[in-house]
Amino acid sequence: MKTIEFKPLSPSKEFAIEANSLEKVYLEGIFRRRGIHALHQLTFTVPQGQIFGLLGPNGAGKTTFIKVLLGIIRKTGGWAKLLGSPAGSQAGRRMVGYLPEQLRVPRHLTGLTALEYYGNLSDVPTSVVKQRRERLLEMVGLTARAKDRVSKYSKGMQQRLGLAQAMLHDPKLLILDEPTDGLDPRARAEVRSIIPDLRDQGTTIFLNSHILQEVEMVCDHVAILDRGHLRYCGPVREIGEFVSKQSEQSTRRIELTLDLISGHEQLNSVFTGDFQADIETFGAGKCRCRLHLSDQHEIDMLVDKIREADISLVGLSRKQITLEDAFLSIVESNQTN
């Protein structure tokens, strides 16, 4: 099993989140002797002003990590900081807006009183809450239902209300745990559109989601957790390279599919050496070839070579590794290991 080693960090206010050798072991059993390692020596940082996605399969330790950050559970070892304050401290929590997974707002509250309640809990005066809540409710699309009891809200509406309360006190860091869970496609799109705006206003967003496409769409940086281990931490756009580096086809991250009309000998003359390919023939000279190449230059060279061999190029498609591919690749490769 491979573990990425990061250098120990020194606390800095430049980071929204810092984790250094963070450990969490859940003790179970009657005598609490059985330990379940939820976080292993977790070390990474989340720079301020970014949209950061935390990915991982179920049980990877994503929610545990958030709970440790917010002091909902205690760490077993290492340290973590929120905007320079120790994780779990009131000072740290004061600057954080949090939308938990599957939020249930007390049923006796209305949209308006819920925002007042949670705003006050974040030490925001009621008068300020009243000023801000109209804009927030409009942002999450709940203006029309603001005076209704929460008990009459759908799951998605509660989630949107949760998002509004998380933003109510203008937090520097927004921790969103599955923010689009339960939302319809339109609402998801709306939420997705809000997040970059917030980032642009200077808020750091820490997104915990299992909808990888969403993360890929909105996040600048991602971290991948697997069974408590950090498998990847870096820019989304570099994850493919990372996966490629991790895999055997270390430099060939572009998958190319070619539909050709050619004779057998001609094919053999082209797809040799660096251009080894899987060839599938269909009769009447038609065939489909799949191969991996490193970059555009190699693609150009291959096309030139095909043309020189007088082979008809019927179709060409190229495919780069997606976040999902990378995620699955990372997780599966570690499971195999």
Residue 60 or 103 having the CB closest to another protein: 103
Contact 254, 294 (CB under 8 A): yes
Task: Compute φ and ψ for 162, nearest 5 degrees.
Answer: -60, -40
CB of 213 to another protein, least distance (A): 26
Q: How many CB atoms lie within 10 A of CB 95?
A: 18
Q: How far apart are CA 54 and CA 145, in angstroms?
A: 32
Q: What is the dihedral of CA 171, 165, 192, 209, to 10 degrees?
A: 90
Q: Contacting another protein (CB under 8 A), which of 35, 106, 202, 235?
A: 106
Q: How far apart are CA 90 and CA 326, in angstroms?
A: 37
Q: How far apart are CA 217 and CA 23, in angstroms?
A: 30
Segment contacting another protein by CB under 8 A, of 52-60, 106-114, 244-252, 329-337: 106-114
CB of 98 to another protein, least distance (A): 4
Of residues 166-205, those binding another protein (CB under 8 A): 175
Q: Which of 48, 95, 39, 46 is nearest to 67 (CA)?
A: 39
Interaction of residue 280 with another protein, rule CB under 8 A: no
Token couple for 227: 């069974």
Residue 121 or 301 having the CB closest to another protein: 121
What one-character-per-residue DSSP string does 256-312 give? Answer: EEEEEE--HHHHHHHS-TT---EEEEEETTEEEEEEEESSHHHHHHHHHHHHHTT-E
Q: Which of 91, 25, 17, 87 is nearest to 61 (CA)?
A: 25
User: Is residue 299 classed exposed, middle or buried when 0-12, 13-18 and 19+ CB atoms within 10 A define those classes?
Assistant: middle
CB of 219 to another protein, least distance (A): 22
Residue 165 or 329 having the CB closest to another protein: 165
Site string for another protein, 14-43 (x = CB under 8 A): ------------x-----------------
Residue 67 or 160 having the CB closest to another protein: 67
Q: Contacting another protein (CB under 8 A), which of 3, 14, 28, 102?
A: 102
Q: How many CB atoms lie within 10 A of CB 29?
A: 8
Segment contacting another protein by CB under 8 A, of 1-9, 121-129, 225-233, 270-278: 121-129
Interaction of residue 65 with another protein, rule CB under 8 A: no
Interaction of residue 144 with another protein, rule CB under 8 A: no
Q: How far apart are CA 136 and CA 112, in angstroms?
A: 11
Crossing angle of helices 126-140 and 111-121, rounded to 10°? 130
Instruction: Let me know how long the chain is.
Output: 337
Interaction of residue 83 with another protein, rule CB under 8 A: no
CB of 53 to another protein, least distance (A): 19
Interaction of residue 62 with another protein, rule CB under 8 A: no
Residue 6 or 117 having the CB closest to another protein: 117
Interaction of residue 113 with another protein, rule CB under 8 A: yes
Question: Residue 226, SS3?
Answer: strand
Residue 90 or 336 having the CB closest to another protein: 90
Residue with tokens 């009183």: 113
Gyration radius of the chain over CA positions:
25
Count of chain residues binding another protein (CB under 8 A): 33
Interaction of residue 108 with another protein, rule CB under 8 A: yes
Q: Contacting another protein (CB under 8 A), which of 2, 104, 147, 245?
A: 104
What beta strand segments (E) does 76-211 contain?
77-82, 85-86, 96-99, 173-177, 204-208
Segment contacting another protein by CB under 8 A, of 111-119, 206-214, 269-277, 305-313: 111-119
Q: Contacting another protein (CB under 8 A), which of 16, 54, 109, 233?
A: 109
Kindly list the residues in this chain that would bind another protein in the complex (CB under 8 A): 26, 67, 70-74, 90-91, 93-94, 96, 98, 100, 102-106, 108-109, 113, 116-118, 120-123, 125, 162, 165, 175
